[in-house]
Chain A
Amino acid sequence: MATPLKPVDIVIVGGGFTGLTMAKELCTRTNLSVLVLERGRLRTAMEYASSMDHIDYSARFRMMQNIADETIAHRHAMRDRSVPVRQYGSFLPGTGVGGAGEHWAGHAYRFTPEFFRLRSHLGERFGAARLPAGLAVQDWGVTYDELESHYWRAEQTLGVGGKAGNLRGQIVDGGDPFEGPRQQEYPLPPCKSSYFSSLFADATRQLGFHPSVTPSALLSEAYTNPDGIVRPACLYCGYCSGFGCMVGAKAQPSNTILPVLQDRPGFELRTMSWVRRVLHKSGRVTGVHYSDEEGNDFFQPSAIVVLASWTLNNVRLLLLSKIGTPYDAASGKGTLGSNLTHQVQSGTRVFFDKPLNAFMGGGAVGTRISDFDGDRSLTGDEGVLRLGSIHAASQGDRPIDTFGIVPSGTVSANWGSEWKAAAVDWYDRTAVISFIGEHLAWLQNFMDLDPTYTDKVGDPLLRFTLDWTEHEHRQREIGDERARMIARAMGAVPDDTRPSRGRYDVSRYQTTHIQGGAIMADSPDNGVVNRYLQHWDVPDLWVLGASAFPQNPSHNPTLTALALTTWAADALIERYLKSPGRSVA
């Protein structure tokens, strides 16, 4: 029996970047009572200071959700049997206050204008008749121009450093000339460049490409944001992606959003609260059902519910709560769970004749080119519709990950004296040039509930039906060819290994960019939420985050998830609250 609690105006499920950002908008602009339910705990700054430890944090995933409590099941195709992901691999869901925003790398990209109208764009570019059957790509229903000021808000809040390449339509040297037009220069200058990323910048410039320093939420200089939050500059310690920042230079919900909220009278953060269902009646929410650490059940009444619990849990909660129409891949009917995308990524291993001092770095420290991003370099005969960008990242190498990597074919075993000598010799003379490609949505890739496996409280796991298609294999092969060309121009030797043509592999890290399942669209026939992230069927339910992305743009999702959150907050506060219970679309 669930214990009923005192009603609140708004419950936000999930205390990560999007949930706390929505809470901040609500608590600073209204007098509503806002309760954030977070399943993990609040970490202290002292914990982060002592977390520069590869074993507990990188090898044993101390920042991540306990996979023993909940995981996903996966199958490659509908005819296959699903099995659970038993240990972390292809992506890393965060937990605790701040969510994955605590351990992220800090890449703070905007998406380009065409991303938001990709279906229309591809039709214009290649002809609608030439688009392959099974392509589920859609327009978002919101445009870059509508989001531009929200991107700017997010960049100021986080303190993003970078160099504009397109300032109000003028192409600017040193920035990314292929980005959408920015109304403002970045709040801060770019981060410093490592040796590796400098070599990449020089080589790509000589090849006629357009390198620019990766836009980064690791502060390039000490910074005070518009909320008055003061944070110090990045120290490039290399314990960044997968770790919380020891000094608060990396923008995290805990150091950038939460301090604004903490003392607000209407705000409450309740940790160790595992939300199991959104409760609803006659098309309106009544609140949520959650369990605490000891397994006690509570009913938290609320007039509005905001789901902000990352892509996977947003979709799973909607499925478990029976809100919306689950996607049926056989008939193509239904929307909930459709358009599951991950990332098309490949790493080209390269070797140098000089040491790189690669232990220095930070999550978003690096240089990239967008010359092959989107379809700007394609003729239409390559067998792909979209490619991606190419990066030289200096995240800070640690030997447990990188010791033992030697040019393929040079040793007879990966252990023993011969291997050890080669590994010592090549240590710190190897790096990866990364291709980060778009993952297009396909009709056969989707999420639903698993029929067999359950979480710690007995609820069904979310199930992925996901595999690579020929399109993704071709993207990787072309990306790898471009990376090899750049490597040679850098004076490096690319390794002989080529991108795998294997099936989707849950055991190998790709990125933590899982998108879709509750996508936004201009009609309830095509998506779960409207262009303001309000649920089409239940108007007092809002669903934030990358679950709304109809497909994966090559760039990292966080800044767009934040821009969409303040876009949704404006609609909720300025329009929905004036006539509750109605669609704002």
Chain B
Amino acid sequence: MRRREFLTISAGAIGATTLLILARESGALERQGDDVVVPLRFLTAKEARVVSAACERIFPRDASGPGATDAGVIIYIDRQLAGPYGRDKYRYTKPPFVTSVPEHGYQAKENPRQMYRAGIRDLGNFDELAVDEQIRKLKEIETSSFFQLLRRHTIEGMFCDPMHGGNADLVGWALIGYPGPQWSYRDDIDRHFGQAWRPKATTVEQLMGHVPPLMEDESE
């Protein structure tokens, strides 16, 4: 059993929904002054700070709205890596592994956990760099498999249902007016033509009254 790692987040950056999500974690949620201490499932605290900083450069909080830190993208990524996806339970992983043409997709042996560990190692003290240095660093690796994965996961963490740990307080959905899952658009699909129609967002938990079993919570 690995030592339990925690990530400290400024409470100003996350809202009430996030606190609720985190409260479901095994391992107590701690509030230390203005900070919230988040128990991590896979990443170490240092790794989480590096990944979180990189996600914030991919999807920054800026004039156009909130970013990856506000949405808790790092919590989403940590849970995905800890679950069956992170260890490639649902990928064909029989050898031999061979290098092939790009049309055959990702063919390497490394699973997402291993890709993150290697990618984080290459980013070094990324979380301590100035913003323009961070941007320069990411530009150097933007064609790599790791960066493509990180970018995809950042978007997933911004716009997922909050039960997965990201999109805290529905900040991602609010940014673009996405209403999340809704029971019915039967009376609306053939109306509102040419006008933005933005119903109040709901989540799976609100619709169902509970959080259904999630893939990232499957045991080994």
- Give me the interface of A with B, judged by CB distance under 8 Å: 47, 49-56, 59-62, 66-68, 71, 74, 76, 81, 83-87, 89, 192-195, 198, 233-239, 354-355, 357, 359-361, 365, 394, 398-400, 403-404, 413-417, 420-421, 424, 427-428, 452-454, 502-507
Contacts and interface: CB of A to CB of B under 8 A. Distances in A.
B181 A56 contact: no
A81 B98 contact: yes
Nearest to B62: A417
Main secondary structure of the interface of B (DSSP, over half): loop
Main secondary structure of the interface of A (DSSP, over half): loop
B175 to A, nearest CB: 6
A454 B94 contact: yes
Looking at A50, A354, A398, which has the most chain B CB atoms within 10 Å of its CB?
Answer: A50
B194 A84 contact: no
A194 B172 CA distance: 25
Contacts of A87: 91-92, 105-106
A61 B90 CA distance: 9
Interface stretch (B15-23, B38-46, B52-60, B118-126): B52-60
Contacts of A416: 57-58, 60, 135
A54 B101 CA distance: 29
Contact of A400 (B57, B65, B155): B155
A460 to B, nearest CB: 12
Contacts of B163: 53
Looking at A74, A85, A237, which has the most chain B CB atoms within 10 Å of its CB?
Answer: A237
B214 interface: yes
A572 B177 CA distance: 55
A193 B190 contact: yes
Given A53-B181, A74-B104, A235-B186, A60 B215 contact: yes
Given A235-B183, A236-B185, A420-B67, 9 more contacts: A52-B207, A60-B215, A83-B98, A193-B190, A355-B195, A399-B155, A415-B57, A454-B94, A502-B103
A424 B175 contact: yes
A238 B178 CA distance: 12
Contacts of A60: 85, 90, 215
Interface residues of B, number: 69
Contacts of B154: 415
B204 A84 contact: no
B57 A452 contact: no
A424 B176 contact: yes
A192 B215 contact: no
Contacts of B64: 417, 420-421, 424
A403 B98 CA distance: 33
B47 to A, nearest CB: 20
Nearest to A72: B92
Contacts of A193: 189-190
Nearest to B161: A53
Given A67-B90, A424-B64, A506-B104, A413 B142 contact: yes
A424 B178 CA distance: 11
Given A235-B184, A415-B138, A507 B104 contact: yes
A527 to B, nearest CB: 30
